[in-house]
Structure 1
Amino acid sequence: MHLFTKDPGNDPVTIAFKLKRFVLAHWKGIICVVVVLVCLAIVMPWPGEKWSWCLYCLVIMAVFWVTECVPLAVTSFVPVFVFPLREIMTTQEVAECYINDTMFVFLGSLIMAAAVEQSGLHMRISLYAIKIIGYSHYKLLFAMCMVTMFVSMWLVNTAATTMMVPIIFALLRVFEDQKLLTVYEKNKDGEQIASDMTTCYFCAATFSATIGGIGTLVGTGTNLVFKGLFERQFPKADEFLTFPKFSAFSVPYMIIMELLIYFWLIVRYLGFLRPRSKKAKAAKISKAGLDAAKKTVAKNIKDLGRLSFWEIMVLILFGLGIALFFSRSPEIFSGWADKVLEFLEIKEKRYIRDSVVAMGICFMMLFLPSKLFIFKNCTAKFHDDLPKRRVPSVLDWVTLNRTLPWSFMYLLGGGFALSTAAKKDYTGLNEKIGDFLSGLKDAPNVVVVLIVIIFTVFLTNFASNVAVANVVVPIGMTLAKMINKNPLLYNIAAGFSASYCFCLPVGTPGNLVVQSAAKIPTMKMIQAGLGPTVISILATWVAVLLYAPIIWPVINASPLPEWATT
C-alpha cells in the first residue's frame, strides 16, 4: 500500500517502480488478458475442436471465478457468446441453461428467507433459544451453534451469520464489563484484533452457518448446483435428490458434524478436558456475569415486543412451504403432487417440481397482508376508522428488489451451461476428461472418493463455493463413469464438500462478515478452521460411503443403471 501513499518528491521514477505500481493497480486486468491469450493454446491447431473450446471456456471461467478478476456473475456469461460462435450450442440452448426449475427453487428460497429477515422472526428465535439453553460459555456457544445451524438450513448462510453478529457482540460486551474477558487485544504492532474468546464465538457463527446450509436443498446455492448438474447430465435418471431424501441424508450428517465442530471449539478455546489450563479458568463466568447476560437477552427480547401478526404470517407461510417441499413426492408414500397428477391423469411426474412450491409460496407472501388493520375496511363505522395508508404485504417487494442477490442466479446458470456443453451430444468434453483421469481406474473407490473430497475442500477455501461446485462436480461425475462407479456418489461427495470453507475469509461471505466485524486476523481464522476442515473431510468421506447407500441404494447397484452409463 505504501506505493500509493509514499511521497516520491523529486526522486527519479525507475522502471521497476512503475512496473510494480502498474501490476498492483491493474492485476485483475492483467489476469484477464494473459489468461485469455495463454489459454488459446488449448484450441490449437486453429480453429480447434468443439471439446477444446468447451475446455477453453472451463479453464478461463475457473481462473476468473477463483481470482474474481471480474465479478463472478459476469464470468458466468462467457458461454453465452463463446458457445454459439463456435457452433457448440445455439443461443437459445445456452440461454435456457440460465432459467430452469433449479433456478426458480433457488430464487424462491432467497425470497422466502428474505420474508423471515424482514419480519425479524429469525432474531426472536435466536434470543429465545439462548434464553432457554443457558448463559455459561459452554451453553452460550452451544446455543449459538445450534441456532445458527438451524436458521441457516432455511436462510442464506451469510444472513444467518450476520444475524448473530449483534447478539454475540452484546453478550461479549456484557462479560467484558464484568471483567470476565476482553473483546479485543493488541498485536505486536499495537493494532486491535479479536481475542481468542471473540474468535471462538464469531467463528462458531460462520462455521455453524456453513454446516447448517447443507441441511436442506434450499440451505445454500451449492446444494441446488449439484442437484441441477446431476439432472442435466443424467436427464433419464429418477429424481434422487428430492427434498425428503436429501434431508434424510443431510440432517443426521449435519448434526454429527456440528457436534464435532462444537467439541473442537470447546477443546480449543474453552479448555475442555484441560480443567487446570488458562483457557479453562478464563471460561468460568461468575454469578454476576451470568445475571448480566440474562438481563441483556431479556432486554433484547422485550425490545422485540409481542409476537406480531407479521411474524405469525411468515411462520405459517414458511412452515407451509417446508411441508409442501417434503410431501410433494416423497416416494415412501403418495405425495400431494402424485395425487394431483393422478387426478389430472398425467403420467409424467416431472410436471410438478419444487419450483411450483417455491414460487407459489413467494406469490402468497407478496399477496397476503402483514397487518391486521386491513380488516378495518370491513368493521369501520365512521370515516376516521378507515385505514389511512396502504396495507403492506408479508414481503415488501421494494426492499426485496434492492437487497436480493440476483447475480447468484447467473452463477448457477454459467455452471449449468458448461455442464450441458460438456456432454457427448454437444462436445464430448466429459469423455476427454474421463480419458485423462483413466489412471485412477485401478485405485480403490474409497481412496478416489477421499481424493475428490480433499481436492474440493482445498479449492473451495480459495474460491466461491458455487463456482467450485460448478467446476468440480461435473468432473467428479465423469470420473465416476470412467471407473465404473455410480455418478450419484461422486456428485454428492463433491457437491457437499464444495460448501466447506472454514480456513480463509475469501471462500465464503460469512467468513468475511465475521472477520471484518470482529477484526479476526487471517492466521487466527486459519487456526480456528483447521479442526472443522479435517472434521468435514472425514465426516463426508464416511457419510457418502456408508450412509448415502442406505438413503440411495442405487449407489451400490450392480450392474450400473442404464442412465449412469449413457
Structure 2
Amino acid sequence: MFEISPQKMMAAKALKALWEMKNGLILLFTPLVFLPLPLVIETKEAACGYIIALMAVYWCTEVLPLAVTALLPVILFPLFGIMESKDVCMQYLKDTNMLFVGGLMVAVAVEHWDLHKRIALRVLLLVGVRPALLMLGFMGVTAFLSMWISNTATTAMMVPIVQAVLEQLNRGPQGGEERSTPLPKAGEKPAETDGQVVMNGMSMEMEHEVQREKEEQLRMCKGLTLCVCYAASIGGTATLTGTGPNLVLSGQMSQLFPDNGDVLNFASWFAFAFPNMIIMLIFAWLWLQFVFIGFNFRKTWGCGVDKSEKEVAAYNVIREEHKRLGTMSFGEVSVLFLFVLLVVLWFTREPGFIDGWATNLFNSEKEYVTDATVAVFVAVLLFVLPSKPPRLFCFGSRSFDLDSQCPREANPALLTWKVTHKKMPWSIVLLLGGGFALAQGSENSGLSTWLGNQMTPLQTIPPWAISIILCLLIAVFTECTSNVATATLFLPILASMCKSIKVNPLYVMIPCTLSSSFAFMLPVATPPNAIVFSYGYLKVSDMARTGLVMNIIGILCISLAINSWGGAMFNLDTFPSWANTTTNSTAI
C-alpha cells in the first residue's frame, strides 16, 4: 500500500485551494502585473495598451462575465484621460448595436412561433433519411436557420430532432419493438454475449457482428451530432446579422473608416459570404461523411436499395413531429411575411450595382436609412400586428353583440416584451459596445498609429500570406475565448496594420472575421459544440481531430473567396482613399 506523506497532502490541498481561488487571484493580480506599463511609459498609448491587455485577460479567462468586462472602458478611459465619459458612453448604442437588436427581435419571433422547426422538418421530409442525404439535410437546414437566428438556438432545436431520428435508425432487429439497449456512447464497449454455446464458431461471429454494428451506430451518432454544431457555426457567417463577429466588423469599419461609403452592408456581405458558406458546407459534409459514414454509395445513399424498416421508422418520426405542429396559424404566416419583408428590404436598400430604394427615397448624400433602420422598423411591427385575425365590430373587451363569439380581450401582438426580454442575449449589445469603445480609445490615444508603425516591415510579405497566417492565429485563439471578443481585440489592430503597409483593410479584416467563427475543435469553444458534446457520443479527441481539418478547410475556402470574387467585389488590389482617413475624438 502506498502512503502519501503529510507534506504531499498539504501541497495538494494548497494547490486545490489556489485553483478554487483562481478567479479572485486573476482579478486582483492582472491589473498589478500590467500596471508598470502606464506608470513607466507615461503616454496615452501605454495607458490604452494597459486597458486592452487587462480586458483581453479578463475576456480569455472569463473571470468576469463578458458583458461586465466590456463595461471597463466607461471607468478606465476617463480615469486615464483617454476619452471623456460622454464620448465613451456613446459607443455602446451605435447603429450596429441597433441592427443587432432589431435583427434579433425578428429572430426571437421566428423562434417563438416555432417557424424554424417547421422549416427544418419540412426540408428533412424532402431529403429523406438515407445516411448521407440525412446528414446533408441536417447541415443544410441548420446552416440556413443559423443565418437568421442564433447558432445556439438553432443547435438546441436541431439536436433533439437528430436524437429522435437516431433512436429509430439504431433500433434493434425487431422492427416495431423498442431498443433493449440505449444508444451507444463515446468509449462504451459492446455488451458481452452471455449464456451462449459456441458451436462451429457461430457465437464468436455473432459477437463480432454485434460489435461492428455498435461501432457503426456510434460513428453515425458522432457524425450526425457534429454536423449540426459545425453547420451552425458555418451558417452564421453568411449574413451580416448571423453572428457577432460580422457585426463587430461592420461597426469597426464605420468607426475606423467613416468615409468607406457603406462598402459593407447586408447585401454586399451576403454576396461575398454566402457562396463561401455553401462551398465550406459542401467540403464539411464530404469530410464528415468520409470520417463517420464512409462512401459506400449502396449503403449510405441507398442506390438501388429499398428503404429499410429502420429508415422508414426514422422518416415516420420526422413526419409525426411535423404533423404535431398542425397547419400554419395566422401568427406564423404573419411572422413569415415580416421575415421575408425584412430580408427583401435589406437586399434592396443599397444593392450596389443599382440604386436602391433608400437612395431613390432620400435623394441626398447623407445616409439617412441604414440596415438598422429596416431591422428596427420590422421589429416594431412585431409588437403592433395581432397574432390572431382581427374580427369586425370587436373592440378590446367589448362587443356590440353580447352573445357573439368575439373575444373579450384584445388579441395579443405577434411578440411581447416578456418573451423578448427572456430570449434576447442582451449581453452581446454591451460586448459590441465595449469593442467600439476600445477601437475609439485606440484611435484617440494614438495606440493604433503606433501599432501601425511597428508593422511596416510586413510590407515585404505578400498580402495573401499575411491573411492566411492571421487567419490561422485567430482560428486558434477563438478556440479559447468568445468569437465576439476575439474579433473585438484583433480587428482594430489589423486595421492599423493595413494602414501602415498600404493594403486594403478588407483584404485582411474580412478573412479574420470569418476565422473567428471557426471554433470547431473544443467543446468549450462555442455553445453549439457544448450542446452537442453534452449528449455523450463524442470525446474531446473526436472533436479535436475532426475540428482541426475543419479549420484548415475553412481557411482554404476563405482564401479562395477573398482572392477571387471577393477581390473583384471590393477592389482589394488597390489601397482605397477612405483607408487614409481617421476618426476624431468626437466621432459617434
Normalised to the residue count of structure 2, the TM-score between the two structures is 0.87
1:393 Cα offset (Å): 1.0
1:315 aligns with 2:336: yes
1:83 aligns with 2:77: yes
Among 572, 577, 584, which residue is 1:561 paired with?
577
What residue is the counterpart of 1:227 in the other structure? 250
1:60 aligns with 2:39: no
Alignment map for 1:510-549 (pairs within 5 Å): 510-549=528-567
Aligned partners of 2:219 and 2:293 also within 8 Å: no
1:365 aligns with 2:382: yes
What residue is the counterpart of 1:5 in the other structure? none
Comparing 474-483 with 15-24, greater Cα deviation is found at 15-24
1:280 Cα offset (Å): 10
What residue is the counterpart of 2:194 in the other structure? none
What residue is the counterpart of 1:7 in the other structure? none
What residue is the counterpart of 1:479 in the other structure? 497
Among 369, 372, 392, which residue is 1:352 paired with?
369
- Deviations 1:84-115 (Å, cap 9, x if unpaired)? 01111010110011001000001111111000
What residue is the counterpart of 1:20 in the other structure? 15
- Specify the code of the residue in structure 2 equivalent to 1:501: A
Equivalent-residue separation in structure 1 for 2:312 and 2:9 (angstroms): 64
What residue is the counterpart of 1:4 in the other structure? none
RMSD over aligned CA atoms reads 2.7
Aligned partners of 1:261 and 1:531 also within 8 Å: no
Aligned partners of 1:36 and 1:60 also within 8 Å: yes
Comparing 78-87 with 186-195, greater Cα deviation is found at 186-195
Aligned partners of 1:178 and 1:288 also within 8 Å: no
What residue is the counterpart of 2:481 in the other structure? 463
Among 395, 419, 425, which residue is 1:405 paired with?
425
Comparing 215-224 with 332-341, greater Cα deviation is found at 332-341
Equivalent-residue separation in structure 2 for 1:445 and 1:185 (angstroms): 46
What residue is the counterpart of 2:30 in the other structure? 35
Whose relative contact order is higher, 1 or 2, with alpha carbons under 8 Å and at least 6 apart?
2
1:142 Cα offset (Å): 0.6
Alignment map for 1:317-356 (pairs within 5 Å): 317-342=338-363, 347-356=364-373
Equivalent-residue separation in structure 1 for 2:578 and 2:307 (angstroms): 65
Aligned partners of 1:203 and 1:528 also within 8 Å: no
Aligned partners of 1:452 and 1:476 also within 8 Å: no
Equivalent-residue separation in structure 2 for 1:35 and 1:418 (angstroms): 18
Aligned partners of 2:139 and 2:281 also within 8 Å: yes
1:375 Cα offset (Å): 4.7
- Deviations 1:412-431 (Å, cap 9, x if unpaired)? 111111111111xx111112
Distance 1:545 1:507, change over 3 A: same
What residue is the counterpart of 1:8 in the other structure? none
- Specify the code of the residue in structure 1 equivalent to 2:151: N
Equivalent-residue separation in structure 2 for 1:517 and 1:310 (angstroms): 33
1:184 Cα offset (Å): 2.2
Unaligned runs of 5+ in 1: 1-10
Among 290, 293, 309, which residue is 1:288 paired with?
309
Equivalent-residue separation in structure 2 for 1:275 and 1:122 (angstroms): 32
1:307 Cα offset (Å): 1.0
What residue is the counterpart of 2:276 in the other structure? 253
What residue is the counterpart of 2:438 in the other structure? 418
Distance 1:33 1:332, change over 3 A: same
Distance 1:92 1:240, change over 3 A: same
What residue is the counterpart of 1:99 in the other structure? 93
Aligned to 2:509, the other structure's residue is in SS state helix
What residue is the counterpart of 1:304 in the other structure? 325
Aligned partners of 1:136 and 1:285 also within 8 Å: no
What residue is the counterpart of 2:288 in the other structure? 265
Distance 1:135 1:275, change over 3 A: closer
Equivalent-residue separation in structure 2 for 1:488 and 1:280 (angstroms): 41
Aligned partners of 1:137 and 1:285 also within 8 Å: no
What residue is the counterpart of 2:165 in the other structure? 171
What residue is the counterpart of 1:128 in the other structure? 122
- Deviations 1:147-190 (Å, cap 9, x if unpaired)? 01111111111111111011101100011224599732352799
Aligned to 2:185, the other structure's residue is in SS state strand
Aligned partners of 1:157 and 1:210 also within 8 Å: yes
Equivalent-residue separation in structure 2 for 1:142 and 1:280 (angstroms): 11
What residue is the counterpart of 2:208 in the other structure? none
Aligned-residue sequence identity (percent) comes to: 33
- Deviations 1:273-294 (Å, cap 9, x if unpaired)? 6989xx999xx99521121112
1:388 aligns with 2:382: no
- Deviations 1:494-545 (Å, cap 9, x if unpaired)? 1111111111122211111111234532222112212211100111122112
1:15 Cα offset (Å): 4.5
Equivalent-residue separation in structure 2 for 1:360 and 1:154 (angstroms): 17
| Number of residue-to-residue matches in the alignment | 546
Among 442, 464, 471, which residue is 2:460 paired with?
442
Equivalent-residue separation in structure 2 for 1:125 and 1:144 (angstroms): 11
Aligned partners of 1:51 and 1:422 also within 8 Å: yes
Comparing 349-358 with 205-214, greater Cα deviation is found at 349-358
- Specify the code of the residue in structure 1 equivalent to 2:486: V
1:80 Cα offset (Å): 0.6
1:19 Cα offset (Å): 2.1
Equivalent-residue separation in structure 1 for 2:273 and 2:131 (angstroms): 28
1:408 Cα offset (Å): 0.7
Aligned partners of 2:23 and 2:63 also within 8 Å: yes
1:44 aligns with 2:39: yes
Equivalent-residue separation in structure 1 for 2:568 and 2:547 (angstroms): 30
- Deviations 1:223-253 (Å, cap 9, x if unpaired)? 1101111110111221100111111101111
Equivalent-residue separation in structure 1 for 2:290 and 2:373 (angstroms): 45
- Specify the code of the residue in structure 1 equivalent to 2:362: L
Unaligned runs of 5+ in 2: 1-5, 192-213, 583-588
Among 204, 225, 240, which residue is 1:202 paired with?
225
1:390 Cα offset (Å): 3.9
Aligned partners of 1:453 and 1:541 also within 8 Å: no
What residue is the counterpart of 2:152 in the other structure? 158
Distance 1:226 1:17, change over 3 A: same
What residue is the counterpart of 1:187 in the other structure? 187
- Deviations 1:396-455 (Å, cap 9, x if unpaired)? 2212112211011111111111111111xx111112212332332211222111111111
Aligned partners of 2:185 and 2:536 also within 8 Å: no
Distance 1:143 1:380, change over 3 A: farther
Aligned to 1:441, the other structure's residue is in SS state helix
What residue is the counterpart of 1:213 in the other structure? 236
1:374 Cα offset (Å): 4.8
Comparing 256-265 with 368-377, greater Cα deviation is found at 368-377
What residue is the counterpart of 1:429 in the other structure? 447
Aligned to 1:372, the other structure's residue is in SS state coil
- Specify the code of the residue in structure 1 equivalent to 2:521: C
Q: Which has the larger radius of gyration?
A: 2
Aligned partners of 1:153 and 1:219 also within 8 Å: yes
Equivalent-residue separation in structure 1 for 2:228 and 2:50 (angstroms): 39
1:62 Cα offset (Å): 1.1
Aligned partners of 2:257 and 2:581 also within 8 Å: no
Normalised to the residue count of structure 1, the TM-score between the two structures is 0.91
